[in-house]
Structure 1
């Protein structure tokens, strides 16, 4: 359980630093992209570890649906960030943070719902 919680929390740290530093710097940079991908890898790893530790069979719940959506959004975000950084216009690079903040905010929903669910068990 410790590894699962640690990796999910590292996802939060890396993703948050990437998203907010991108906004504050005013344009997406290559190191932001690296942080997005690291956050995605840690989130996927942590989610996989959590699911293996769960004694509850896979069920449809608020947390499972928002968690799956968040992983898909993080993947789409990282892929789109890669495209924007390599092929996007300066305007697209300056405006990418709007999508980043949206995905980050949506990602927080399963992060905190999982935390709350874990504490109430």
Structure 2
């Protein structure tokens, strides 16, 4: 496995662990927010490296690229919700509860689409 792929797999594992743990236990702990942040950092770092190593002449906007950037933005917003929910802001806790699986599924679809391009 190449290092760039490793970053995305780390993001997958951490996102999955936090979101499903939260769904099962219905509580958000500090360690979960930290792991989510590490997953987001791995995702952003991998995306940044990938964008920089690709030849701009060969860069094409396709479904994978579009869904990847959209899902990265959604996960960043989702992380913000997690931080605010952990701080006790009920509005963000409800958002995190309501949209976590959907955000994860969108991110997972973008992740999986990379295998087909």
TM-score, with structure 1 as normaliser? 0.84
CA shift, 1:10, in A, is 0.6
CA shift, 1:95, in A, is 6.9
User: Cα deviation per residue 1:5-35 (whole Å; 9 max; x = unaligned)?
Assistant: 0000110011100100111111222111112
Change (3 A) 1:23 1:51: same
- May I ask how many residue pairs the two structures share in their alignment? 116
Runs (4+) of structure 1 exceeding 6 A deviation are: none
Change (3 A) 1:22 1:53: same
The residue aligned with 1:60 is 61
Once structures 1 and 2 are overlaid, which stretch shifts more, 46-55 or 35-44?
Answer: 46-55
Residue 58 of structure 2 aligns to a residue in which SS?
A: coil
Could you tell me how far apart the structure 2 residues matched to 1:106 and 1:33 are?
Answer: 20
Could you tell me how far apart the structure 1 residues matched to 2:103 and 2:86 are?
Answer: 17
Could you tell me how far apart the structure 1 residues matched to 2:83 and 2:31 are?
Answer: 11
CA shift, 1:87, in A, is 3.0
Gaps of 5+ in 1: none
